[in-house]
Amino acid sequence: MPQPLRAPLVVEFPFTRSLGPVQSAFLTGLRERTVLGVRTADGRILVPPVEYDPVTADELRELAEVAATGTVTTWAWNPAPRRGQPLATPFAWVLVRLDGADTALLHALDAPGPGAVRTGLRVTVRWAAERTGSITDIACFEPYEGESDPYEGEPDPYERERVPYEHEHEPRPRTAGGHDGRFDDPVTGIVAPARLDYDYSPGRAQSRYLHALAERRTVGERCPSCRKVYVPPRGACPTCGVATAEQIEVGPRGTVTTYCVVNIKAKNLDIAVPYVYAHIALDGADLALHARIGGIPYDQVRMGLRVEPVWTASSRYPDHYRPSGEPDADYEVYKELL
Amino acid sequence: MTRYARDVAIIAFAQTDHQRRSDELSEVEMVMPVLHQVLRRTGLRTGDIGFTCSGSSDYLAGRAFSFTMALDGVGAWPPISESHVEMDGAWALYEAWVKILTGAADTALVYAYGKSSPGEVRDVLSRQLDPYYTAPLWPDSVALAALQAQALIDAGHTDERELAAIGARSRADAAANPYAQLAGAVPRGDMVVGPLHRGDCPPIGDGAAAVLLAAGDRARELCERPAWIRGMDHRIEAHGLGVRDLTDSPSTRLAAERAGAFERPVDTAELHAPFTSQEVVLRRSLDLDSRVRVNPSGGALSANPVMAAGLIRLGEAAALIHRGESDRALAHATSGPCLQQNLVAVLEGDSHG
């Protein structure tokens, strides 16, 4: 049999996502070089903040600023950065508990090598030059030579909110900041591009079908059990659940079994609307395939119309089908193929 | 004595030879042979099956609606009673088990497949992460597992030597598993994302598996020694990695408790631990001591068709019971980064004689 076909395939979506009040405040804060957490009922501060308590499911709305410095809680050395990751040179993935926070944030740490990284390392945010309200407004973390976590070793975080400074007689601030999460111009949504690259292979049956099409032949496959001929073949008979292997050339002519009129132009498709897209039962096939109908005004296409494929010079498949000039097929002939 | 309304058993299991690439096969062409094998072993035909459930993810191979095309291999026309989960097939098995417990079916066909070869599975899996704070950083599956491994090392629960030994033991055991992709003496290899080396990571490949379930007397008719599901439960943890204690798996422990795993010792455990470090977490969470055989199949370190590898753990455990090589086995499946979601089943065979 011929070699299975392979071809590159890119699947790409720009997901547009709206942000709730908590995520909006956090990402807007990053734009303004401020890190915000959210306070739980028991006084813990979650960074990055979530809308619902992961333990109690309570709704969380009270934002609290934490420091841009923190401590690595675990790390992983990445010697070969992949597309889309925060740094293009080798770096460490880190979970960082920012000073004032009780949970850790995932990000990248710019470090010269794994020997320069350890759990407990003090780090600080390196802000991106251009910030839009996104987790990537933190370009990465970098090692920080400053003081250790001022809250290290302190008791219950809820308690420490209320322990006054001995010499100041006022509530000890959780962090240097104190931003409440309200912004004049909050970010309300993000666009999250997702791209995945594949080296796609369609398998045996469809490779056979596509190889034949390249020779301008349409070849279906017959079910060994019910004897139906499937075009295009997918390798199995959906009624019997067995493999199809016997190849049967069908067409080239066929009958329009049903159709629709397309009135909206698809993006990147250079076909004038309105046009007709039809189910076509090729002669000898027991399943209709679908294709565009051309060479006839759209409002004259009808069920039973006899058609033939139109090939273009460089194409591996029919560009469209056009009327063959034969009399229309009788409904009784194709009614099982609708 | 069972805690459920009906006794349900795994009565047949089949899997493909797991391979690095399978360019010559579409998903349905890969799945169909294992469907036919489980049917042939029990003498059942498609029309005899009460419920069909599958697990897969179209993102792996980049083929939209591959799961509907895979259904062609079942013989799904005229329409059958079926369902699909965008998860490992272990969760499809769970759904099928519940369906049988409700009395809506007496038999069920469960299958799963994963074709990772066309894409970059490390990147594909990053698309299941939180889209606001995590996915934009593109942390790949090995990176996240490595963060967990380092946390275990820092906590003193393991070291790189023990991790290497888990990889070596798994591949040595896989030498007796004809379906394994990676078996025998496998070098530890280069660092992928430190502290994890190539040998700490699962092979990337394509494969499929199928299981048949049946209730009560139907199971006894169709299988000489059914693998009875004595308990099964699944639990999930918070999605925020920095919220969790990555050295522990409370969801696994709770699922095991609810499945009755701690009521009596098991002789065998098939654990779905794609990374060596994850076996350390699971052993601790399940209190498995050295008397329990862990992953005699070689586990996911020897063959890891994503979306099928968890179902294969249930199938391997059941097959040991079918063959009389286990009387009470634990099977575990996981989903998500760093063992985020976990399913535990306890399987038993009837006493001999």
Mean pLDDT of chain A: 89
Cβ–Cβ of A196/B74 closer than 8 Å?
Answer: no
Among the partner residues B46, B131, B194, nearest to A76 by beta-carbon distance: B194
Measure the CA–CA gap between A198 and B119, rounded to whole angstroms. 4
Specify which residues A321 forms β-bridges with: A293, A309
Contacts of A121 (CB under 8 A, 6+ apart): A71, A72, A75, A109, A143
pLDDT of residue A160: 41
* pLDDT surpasses 80 at B204: yes
Contact (Cβ atoms closer than 8 angstroms) between residue B334 and residue B273: yes
Cβ–Cβ of B25/A23 closer than 8 Å?
Answer: no
Query: What's the alpha-carbon Rg for chain A, to the nearest Å?
Result: 32
B residues 293..312 contacting A (CB < 8 A): none
A190-224 core/surface letters (b: 16 or more CB in 10 A; e: else):
bebebebbbebbbbbbbbbbbbbbeeeebbbbbbe
Average pLDDT of span A213-231? 94
Find chain A residues with C-beta within 8 A of B66's C-beta.
none
In this structure, the number of other CB atoms found within 10 A of the CB of residue A248 comes to 17
* pLDDT surpasses 70 at B211: yes
pLDDT of residue A165: 36
Average pLDDT of span A220-234? 94
pLDDT of residue A145: 83
* pLDDT surpasses 70 at A162: no
Cβ–Cβ of A84/B240 closer than 8 Å?
Answer: no
In this structure, the number of other CB atoms found within 10 A of the CB of residue A188 comes to 14
Cβ–Cβ of B59/A27 closer than 8 Å?
Answer: no
* pLDDT surpasses 50 at A157: no
pLDDT of residue B169: 97
Cβ–Cβ of B138/A83 closer than 8 Å?
Answer: yes
Range name among A81-85, A163-167, A277-281, B153-157 with the lowest pLDDT average: A163-167
Chain A residue with CA closest to B139: the answer is A85
Q: At A251, phi and psi to the nearest 5?
A: 70, -150
Cβ–Cβ of A194/B63 closer than 8 Å?
Answer: no
Domain parsing of chain A, residue ranges: 19-187, 203-337
B residues 234..293 contacting A (CB < 8 A): 238, 240-243, 246
- Tokens 């379906």 belong to B179
Measure the CA–CA gap between B151 and A104, rounded to whole angstroms. 13
The CATH architecture to which A19-187 belongs is Beta Barrel (2.40)
Cβ–Cβ of B134/A106 closer than 8 Å?
Answer: yes
Measure the CA–CA gap between B350 and B353, rounded to whole angstroms. 9
Chain B residue with CA closest to A208: the answer is B24
* pLDDT surpasses 90 at A177: no
| SS (HEC) of chain B | CCCCCCCEEEEEEEECCCECCCCCCCHHHHHHHHHHHHHHHHCCCHHHCCEEEEECCHHHHCCCCHHHHHHHHCCCCCCCCEEEECCCHHHHHHHHHHHHHCCCCCEEEEEEEEECCCCCHHHHHHHHCCCCCCHHHCCCHHHHHHHHHHHHHHCCCCCHHHHHHHHHHHHHHHHHCCCCCCCCCCCCCCEEEECEEHHHCCCCCEEEEEEEEEEHHHHHHHCCCCEEEEEEEEEECCCCHHHCCCCCCHHHHHHHHHCCCCCCCCCEEECCCCCHHHHHHHHHHHCCCCCCEECCCCHHHCCCCCCCHHHHHHHHHHHHHHCCCCCEEEEEEEECCCCCEEEEEEEECCCCC
Q: How confident is the model at residue B2 (pLDDT cuts 50, 70, 90)?
A: low
Measure the CA–CA gap between A80 and A85, rounded to whole angstroms. 10
| B196 to B161, B191, B204: CA distances (angstroms) | 11, 6, 15
Decide if B353 touches A, using CB distance below 8 A.
no
Mean pLDDT of chain B: 96
pLDDT of residue A266: 82
Measure the CA–CA gap between B275 and B198, rounded to whole angstroms. 10
**pLDDT tens profile A31-53:** 999 999 999 999 999 999 999 99
Decide if B44 touches A, using CB distance below 8 A.
no
When scoring B67, B128, B138 by the number of chain A Cβ atoms within 10 A, the one with the most, hence best to mutate, is B138
* pLDDT surpasses 80 at B96: yes
pLDDT of residue A2: 67
**pLDDT tens profile B55-67:** 999 999 998 888 9
pLDDT of residue A117: 98
- Entry pTM: 0.93
Cβ–Cβ of B193/A78 closer than 8 Å?
Answer: yes
* pLDDT surpasses 60 at B157: yes
Chain A residue with CA closest to B62: the answer is A198
* pLDDT surpasses 70 at B222: yes
Name the 3-class secondary structure at A321: strand
Measure the CA–CA gap between B101 and B106, rounded to whole angstroms. 9
pLDDT of residue A4: 80
Chain B residue with CA closest to A242: the answer is B73
**pLDDT tens profile B171-198:** 999 999 999 999 999 999 999 999 999 9
Structural domains in chain B, CATH included, are 8-119+203-222 (3.40.47.10), 121-200+228-348 (3.40.47.10)
For the beta sheet containing A45-46, the strands, ordered from the edge strand earlier in sequence to the opposite edge, are A45-46, A35-39, A63-66
When scoring B57, B124, B132 by the number of chain A Cβ atoms within 10 A, the one with the most, hence best to mutate, is B132
> What are the CB-based long-range contacts (under 8 Å, 24+) for B173-177?
B173/B295, B173/B296, B173/B297, B173/B298, B173/B299, B173/B302, B174/B297, B174/B298, B174/B299, B174/B301, B174/B302, B174/B303, B175/B298, B176/B296, B177/B297, B177/B298, B177/B302, B177/B303
Measure the CA–CA gap between A161 and A200, rounded to whole angstroms. 57
Chain B residue with CA closest to A190: the answer is B132
Cβ–Cβ of B194/A79 closer than 8 Å?
Answer: yes
* pLDDT surpasses 70 at A148: no
| B16 to A203, B30, B303: CA distances (angstroms) | 16, 8, 10
The nearest CA of chain A is from the CA of B5 a distance in Å of: 32
Q: How confident is the model at residue A151 (pLDDT cuts 50, 70, 90)?
A: low
